Amino acid sequence: MPSAEPAPDPHGGASDTLGSIGELAALARIIPRLPASAVTELGPGDDAAVLRAPDGRVVVTTDMMIHGPDFRLAWSSMHDLGWKAAATNLSDVAAMGARPTGLVVALAAPAETPVADLEAFAGGLAEACAALAPGCGVVGGDLSVSHTLTIAVTAFGDLEGRPPVRRDGARPGDVVAVSGPLGLAAQGLALLFERGVDETGAPDAAAAARLRSEHPVPIAAQLAPHPPIADGAAAAIAGATAMLDLSDGLALDARRVARASGVVIDLDGRALAAHGTGVLALTGGEDHSLLATFPPSVTLPAGFSAVGIVVALDEHAGGRPAVLVDGHVVDERGGWDPFTEWSGEAD
């Protein structure tokens, strides 16, 4: 983030907004709440950050969250958003078999946004890094104003001498395994759209609060996911041949592995049923679990459970990459796509 020249004001008022105190004073209250990275040579306060990269390579990913297609402020607290912004990027680094090392966070918020909300956002970032990827921290970013709350995060990771685990390495005979929930975040989202609204159908904060109390697990899975970040490096060490983050649903993301690797992935219906989320285990997005393939001789790392097997193209009647469940082709329209799911402006 830009240099925060003023010293943090411990007496900042609860009524202060981004527009009333300006960028520098707001940053002075936010930056001290951000977590430090264990590989930082130079952190927030200069034109750019400097991170150590002992491996000589750096894993980099980026993601955006925009009010409307990606979240609703009536449902998510600013702390939730900070947590989720970190978690969704950390999971992409983990899916390469890397250890997350740093985040760069850009935030554009309406001028009337209370500075206390920005502090809560920073708290969510800090707590997510501490819980999911100890040693990872925020090394820089930007703060601006916008009519629409927009969050952009770039994450960095260290391969620690290992080759990256790509999507194109799955081979016939490999075991398909998952670490983390399947369909739980989608279950939470369905509850919010069904019961987290007022009589007009608009997102309602009071209704969402009741849902948090009545259905804490699926609501938390949607609003503040807890992906198994450490399991990414564990999978790489164990010999995973392919891996990716399950952000768009098992069916859609497994199909990406199948196409990249030139194979068929046959999922086990009983293994999917064990997740207890019905069809959402296959089609629900935003779990940010990890899908990986392993040679059959490998003992699956703790956290991973088998959900299928990789099959050669010539063993499948269609003769092309596909995803099956118990031998039956899965509809290619399944999965989460914000470009088609989002139907209008945020309420």
Instruction: Give binding residues for substrate as ranges.
Output: 70, 286, 336
Task: Using alpha carbons, list the distances in angstroms from residue 150 to 44, 76, 123, 249, 270.
Answer: 20, 14, 17, 24, 40
Residues annotated as binding site for ATP? 141-142, 167, 247
Describe the crossing of helices 205-214 and 184-195 by its angle, rounded to 10 degrees: 140
* CA 222 from centroid of its chain's CA atoms: 10
Cα dihedral 336, 87, 118, 210 sign: positive
The b/e string for 52-87 (b: 16+ C-beta within 10 A; e otherwise) is eeebebebebebebbbbbbbbbbbbbbbbbbbbbbb
Residues annotated as binding site for Mg(2+)? 47, 61-63, 92, 142, 245, 248
Contact (CB, 8 A) for 153 and 113: no
Residues annotated as binding site? 47, 61-63, 70, 92, 141-142, 167, 245, 247-248, 286, 336
List the structure tokens of 23. Answer: 């960028």
Residue 305 pairs in a beta bridge with: 178
Q: Residue type at 294? A: F
CB neighbour list of residue 221: distance below 8 Å, 6 or more residues apart: 181, 184, 185, 187, 188, 287
CA dist., res. 118 & res. 50, Å (int): 24
